[in-house]
Structure 1
């Protein structure tokens, strides 16, 4: 690349990129065939190469896919060869090798140690490749380095290598955030599973035991329902399931609760068949039903009714869980969902948090309640979620 092109690359990696893209979009919208100046074309190419490299850096600099990122970074820098070297010495290299990988490791160690970019002249003939190395710094620690080889290394390449190293650091940080979100989601599921154990299993087993002598056949049925419930609730794979699968587990749960409540627990289902295949976060409806039983109906002497419904509004499936139990004060509910409490209603707060993580701030639960007026909990889930297919978990 010429110095002009490299300068444009640097601009593309900064705030100028947005202006350039808007300019290009306006020209394309008018049907213009001219893509603009050399600088604008270089900026567009730089952004394209950066977008191709980004996904391959998210798993960390030692991941196998980083070699694919190095290929795009070499085109981006216009250099003869590029190496991305992690802190453990893993080299992802693209370009003419000719013994340059070992040189890249040595250069990366030096720039990581110094914490700043450095230029390394060719040791022999003038036509041999020179190198520039720049550290990849994440949270104040040099986790790797970008090393670019060229003959000669010009000032624009030195600046570009440093900018690319900073951009790589940003991608590594984004990958870390993705991993943190996944770990948080798993932690939330573990929290829900831990909630199930103390609050439900003891009562279920006690109910089963009460039928062993008086109605052995009923006891056997309840044991099977208990097995189905626990098998689903404690399964290890996947963050997503379908509404149909979750309703199957809810059926088992409610059968076990009926063994305790008898006729005091009434259940009504109004499920639109077209919503059964809707993908939902695993354990997102079941805790709402359990919350309705434990905090809605159980405190009252006369039991009550739980109504579970779903409907398809075209773009979303709306799922509601309603009870006619004791309800709660709206201000107390607001405090529960925002600041947490002493451990009650953990499932409700947990589901709300996970829905917002998956579908954004507007994707949480909508709760209608008042003291003595029961509670209705509503969730809306997109009908199309190709990235959340439970078969791909």
Structure 2
């Protein structure tokens, strides 16, 4: 049977016989280009605090950290790139409250003999005065009412807000001289007023000291190691927007833990305070925010200033004897200690670190307190009932029914714990670092 010719195929009305077109092939390079273009477009148009943008940024940093080891900290002893005079270039904002006002004199007493902090602003939820004298201060320190500042200048329209009413309750008790009632109010809702001090306290400080290179915000139970602070600041350019501290929070908002100390550069402060439109909405948010340090991060995020976590391990949210000394920070400076709630505890830490004249490393903490570092201890029994782990949390592992310190040490060695073990023999408990 002969093949049907092209002409006969056309004659039966079926038209010319054609081959089907091959499907266009999308090259991987073109796909990659489209994906990058979409990503760059979204990166440019999405707000700085957009969840998608924050999630990508957080996961990228986590991935990068798993690939790259921690940068060298040779800068600690290197020639300063941006030399500063702490007395003239740094202002300290001490955050307190009427209920904890007795901590501030202890904070001032704890300053070392080589103290360089000259300009200190004390902010609280009421006005007051602190009798104090040193080489820089002979008339004491005024306590500024940061909450009243925010209500008077930014929140006049919110006089019926529950938090504003609570502030007026405290103010009324103080005006009547009823200290017992005032202290009761502080215990009841002082933490709510605390969230309103951060932004207003920074604004008050910037209004008085607009040309400082660095702004250091601390709680009244936070001790700052000045010899560790100076080399960090001299390593960074204050004309760039730096926001530093102990990183906490999830990917949606990473913020510097207020108790561990917060540092802002001159550029960051100028960007924050001079943007009155953004500042106005943040003041309103302070009426309902739980944590003022998170509110500060939120304000900075709106302006494209993210927390720099490169130096988070220098900031410490624990007291010295409960500080966790991990392998990733053993040879790094420690800049702060927190949770020193009593005046006696603050003064004791000040006395222990009074003669420190160079950057204090994490591995110096044992000897600073008169203890033998674990790596120099040769007798296993010497570890009985010693604690080298600190407060037990998600970063620690507790093993029950341990009879001897030697058994605890073997468990620690087997798990390659990054901190030295503690063993409470009377309770038969061994606590080690869960980070292997």
Q: Please tell me the TM-score bracket, short chain as reference.
A: under 0.3
Higher strand residue share:
1
TM-score normalised per structure 2: 0.23
The higher-RCO structure (CA 8 Å, 6+ apart) is 2
Higher helix residue share:
1
TM-score normalised per structure 1: 0.25
